[in-house]
Amino acid sequence: MALAGLGGALLLLVSEAAAQSPVRIGYVDVQRVLARSSAGVAAREQIEREKALMQKEVDAKRAELEKLREELDKKGMLLSAETRREKQETLERKVRDLRRLIDDYQKELEKKEQGLLQKVLVEISGVVERYGKQRGYLLIAEKRGAGVLYGSPEADITDEIIKAYDQEAARPKK
């Protein structure tokens, strides 16, 4: 019921605005802005660089583990029971440490990605607001989050937002 009332109120608002002037309604595909804008690409590249560094460290630790495991497999029978037990414990500890490291890195990457994306989303929001005000839009919706089931290609202002966002980002900061 409440949604039907809201829809009716929105239609009334749109029809009143249409009587006064042409109604401008648009939508933005924020995922496409994130994928194609300079800042979105730079944020993804930064995450990928950090991920590659972390992966390099994880790979080095895995290689170390494999070397220990091979040494234990090959020489295990020649070692005393005490030495074999110590090497086995060392191997198990390093496996646990590696699992913890991988988990920590995943959490760190998720946190950094969220932070970078949140920063870009805030900036995009400001660009969309200024764009809408300057061009007289009544409403600009986010394509996926707002549940846009159909949008005419003429109402898609995503490319204009990408262009405006890139231009704004290229300006020197005061």
Residue type, 49: R
C-alpha torsion 132→129→43→164, nearest 10: 40
The span from the CA of 105 to the CA of 111, in Å, is 10
Query: Could you state, in order of their start, the residue ranges of all structural domains in the chain?
Result: 21-170
Taking the model in full, what pTM does it have? 0.65
Q: What stretches in the chain show pLDDT beneath 50? A: 1-7, 9-11, 17
Q: pLDDT per residue over 16-31, tens digit each? A: 545 556 778 888 998 8
